[in-house]
A and B are shown apart, each in its own frame.
Chain A
Amino acid sequence: MNNGHIIELENVSKNYQRGPETVHAVKNVSLSVSSGEYVAVIGPSGSGKTTLMNIIGCLDHPSDGRVMINGREIQDENESGLTRLRQTSIGFVFQQFFLIPTLNVIENVTLPALFAGHKPNGRGRDLLEKVGLANRMHHLPGQLSGGEMQRVAIARSLVNAPPILLADEPTGNLDSKNAGMIMDLFGKLNADGVTVVMVTHNTDIVKRCNRTVHIEDGVIRQ
């Protein structure tokens, strides 16, 4: 495994127990993503997209198969190992922004650095400049628009300088103008070398990606 791939899944399956029934959410999936790629994951609801993101995001172990993220095999990692991997290697952006309402913008952005145990040393401010919100750093989330909140969330996901950015419908809550701005931002981040994997239903977004992974019934149909 590896061969220059930052994300590599080999014959990965994930099964859940739902009452007496075993759900095969992902079946024997193999997927490789090179560093700097911009990948869209598409598929109908219940197809296994979220489970796939869950595994790539080191939030869960696979039931079977091997997963390598940024050079580390996650099936060998315990919970704290996975946490450490999330702190150093992966940034998450969701449809909801999950900003803490009583912390201001800069405090929200630097929060992941607190969990990683290092000082952001001005990186928070740099990222806010990058997303065009340096002038709002002392504002509370309630004083921002939806598009601005998502830009704060993106800045926050990058504060620990992860090489991988996982996004789950990041424009789902935004109007088309703000969605366009966010997608431009993802494009810039990808151009700067960040590997982006994005779950989406939006065909306009899919067109901006280098590669599309279509998943259906837990199986990848590229």
Chain B
Amino acid sequence: MSFTKVAISNLRRNPVRSLLTGLSLAVSAATLSVVLSLDKGYTDAVTNDLVNKTGVHMYITKEGCPIEAASVIAQGGLSPLYVDESIVARLKKIPELDAVMPFKLFAVTTDDGTRTDIFMGITDAVGKIKPDWRYTAGGWFAAPDSVILGAEMARIENLDIGDRMYVEHFDAEFVISGILARNYGQDDGTFFMPLATAQALVGREGKLSAVALKLSDISAMDTVRNRIRASMPADYFVIGSRELSDGILQFFSSTRAIMFVMVGVAFLISVFGIVNTMLMAVLERRREIAYLKCVGAGKYDLIRLISLETAAIAVAGSAVGALIGMILSPVSGHLLRQFLVAYIPSGAIARPDPVIALAAFAVCTLIGMACSLYPALRAAKIVPMEVLRNE
């Protein structure tokens, strides 16, 4: 016989109530696990898209809110702000820059509103900016009307090298010159075309969305940024790719706040549920607890017994919840993708993460255990003869 056995046998007295209490904690653990997965997953995905995969260290954009600029660039909208192409020649003279790629980015929504295509005008500097660019077929632009398709676009459009592609919005026809290998980034869903062609399509000749810069030595970033800032017109911004992703993540912070409030509410419900269950369990057994005191149960024995009962519920509920949360993370990431307004990363927003599941399990177990404190103290304070005589 052990205290644990007695505690678990006590839980078996009302299995439905114990199960429901465990489930309420499981919901909290699952919610926490999912929210932490989404938070980490989204941050990682944005950083991966905009910092790790692009190979871009800095962007030069026109003045405005840098977060708004980040959002506009990331979402591919046609920003009213533009950078004059004349600065590219000046930038190319800076020796610390390994690559300078001016680009024009815009999005076109189909007439029926069901799809938005992203077009990007680029130069051959893209080879240095994106060293992992690989073609599954074809290659670089052969003519001004050439386009290179991201892997997903080629799949959706079912196009091959040499095929012609008509874009109704511009009433223009393009020839497929290359199809990119899938890189699980934003490139997969983009139409690439020569910079001059892209500028002409939207009537912005000599104007750029931004200029992407790659440094020879990343440690020189601050120095180079300061030098560029000094040489640029006052209304130009030099934004690090990290700042760009941080800006986007700031947009996400309100969503994150709502998610954590949701976790808080789930916890609050669980806490009340557990305290209520354990308090009921104590009050229902007042006479029995009084008798246990008579036969030598000290107050610490009773605190231990009630805490073990709660611990059994907390451990089981938290473990089940954390596991469910881990399984549900990818599904929730898919759902969140449909509601994101700031930036939709290309990769998975949330993946099953055992470390997060373990953290959710630990937090929920601790909270569950804390809930035993009040009922356990109530049990310890029972005056045996008063209860046995009066009830």
> Could you tell me the distance in whole angstroms from the C-beta of B17 to the nearest C-beta in chain A?
14
Interface check B13, CB cutoff 8 A: yes
B 52-67 binary contact with A (CB < 8 Å = 1; else 0): 0000000000000000
In Å, the complex CA distance between A157 and B388 comes to 16
Contacts A102-B12, A103-B6: A115 and B287 contacting too (C-beta < 8 A)? no
**B355 within 8 Å of A by Cβ?**
no
Q: Is the CB of B291 within 8 A of A59?
A: no
- Chain B residues 163 to 208 lying within 8 A of chain A, measured CB to CB, are none
Give CA–CA (A71, B5) in the complex, Å. 35
Given contacts A50-B389, A96-B287, A114-B2, contact A157 B295 (CB under 8 A): yes
A110 and B295 alpha carbons, distance in the complex (Å)? 11
In the complex, whether B10 has a CB less than 8 A from a CB of chain A is yes
Tell me whether B287 and A98 are in contact (CB under 8 A).
yes
Who on chain B is nearest to A79 by CB? B299
Q: How far is the CB of A43 from chain B (nearest CB, A)?
A: 14
Q: For A51, list chain B residues within 8 Å (CB).
A: 385
* B9 on interface, CB distance cutoff 8 Å: yes
Quick one: given A115-B295, A115-B298, are A102 and B385 in contact (CB under 8 Å)?
A: no
CB of B94 within 8 A of chain A?
no
Inter-chain contact B288/A107, CB cutoff 8 Å: no
Assess whether B295 is in contact with A111, with CB atoms less than 8 Å apart.
Answer: yes
> From DSSP, what is the main secondary structure of chain B's interface residues?
helix
A122 to chain B, nearest CB (A): 13
**One of A54, A100, A160 near B9 (C-beta < 8 A):** A100
> Contact at A53–B6, with CB atoms within 8 Å?
no
Q: Is the CB of B6 within 8 A of A112?
A: no
Within 8 A of B (CB), among A9-64: 50-51, 53-54, 57, 59-60
Q: Does A92 contact B (CB under 8 A)?
A: yes
* A54 contacts B385, C-beta separation under 8 Å: yes
Residue of chain A at shortest CB distance from B380: A79
Known: A59-B293, A96-B287, A102-B12. A83 touches B385 (CB 8 A): no
Q: Are B294 and A83 in contact (CB under 8 A)?
A: no
| B301 interfacial contact with A, CB 8 Å | yes
A87 at interface by CB-CB < 8 Å: yes
Query: Which residues of chain B are near A103, meaning CB under 8 Å?
Result: 6, 9
Q: Is the interface of A mostly helix, strand, loop or mixed?
A: helix
B297 interface residue (CB < 8 Å to A): yes
Quick check: B296 and A116 within 8 Å, CB to CB? Answer: yes
Partner of A98, one of B2, B9, B10, B291: B291
A86: CB under 8 A from chain B?
Answer: yes
Residue of A nearest to B385 (CB): A54
Interface string of A73-91 (1 = CB under 8 A from B): 0000001100110110001
Given contacts A57-B294, A100-B10, A102-B13, contact A111 B1 (CB under 8 A): yes
A211 to B301, alpha carbons, bound, how many Å?
37
Question: Which residues of A (150-191) have their CB < 8 Å from a CB of B?
Answer: 156-157, 160, 168
The answer to the question of B133 belonging to the interface, with a C-beta cut-off of 8 Å to chain A, is: no
In the bound complex, do residue A92 and residue B294 qualify as a contact, i.e. CB atoms below 8 Å apart? yes
Known: A50-B389, A80-B298, A116-B296. A102 touches B10 (CB 8 A): yes
Alpha-carbon gap, A168 to B384, bound state (A): 13
Q: By the criterion of a CB under 8 Å from any partner CB, how many residues of chain A are at the interface? A: 34
Contact A50 B1 (CB under 8 A): no
A4 at the interface (CB under 8 A from B): no
Of chain A, the residue at the smallest CB distance from B8 is: A102
**Which interface residue of B5, B294, B295, B297 has the most chain A CB atoms within 10 A?**
B295
What are 26 A-B contacts with C-beta separation under 8 Å?
A53-B385, A59-B294, A60-B385, A79-B299, A83-B298, A83-B299, A84-B296, A86-B294, A94-B291, A98-B287, A98-B291, A100-B6, A100-B9, A100-B10, A102-B10, A102-B12, A103-B9, A107-B9, A110-B1, A111-B1, A111-B295, A112-B295, A113-B1, A114-B2, A115-B295, A160-B296
Closest-CB distance, A117 to chain B (whole angstroms): 9
Apart from the given pairs A86-B296, A111-B292, 12 other A-B contacts in the complex at a CB distance below 8 Å: A57-B385, A59-B383, A84-B296, A94-B388, A98-B291, A100-B9, A102-B9, A102-B12, A107-B5, A112-B295, A114-B6, A157-B295
Contact bitstring B273-306, A, C-beta under 8 A = 1, else 0: 0000000000000011001111111110100000
A157 to B292, CA, bound (A): 11
Q: Does A101 contact B (CB under 8 A)?
A: yes
Is B272 among interface residues, defined by CB-CB distance under 8 A? no
Q: Which of A83, A101, A115 contacts B13 (CB 8 A)?
A: A101
Chain B residues whose C-beta falls within 8 Å of the C-beta of A111 in the assembled complex = 1, 6, 292, 295
0/1 string, B9-50, CB within 8 A of A gives 1: 110110000000000000000000000000000000000000
Residues of B contacting A156 in the complex (Cβ-Cβ under 8 angstroms): 295
Q: Which residue of A lies closest to B2 (CB)?
A: A114
B9 near A115 with CB under 8 A, answer: no
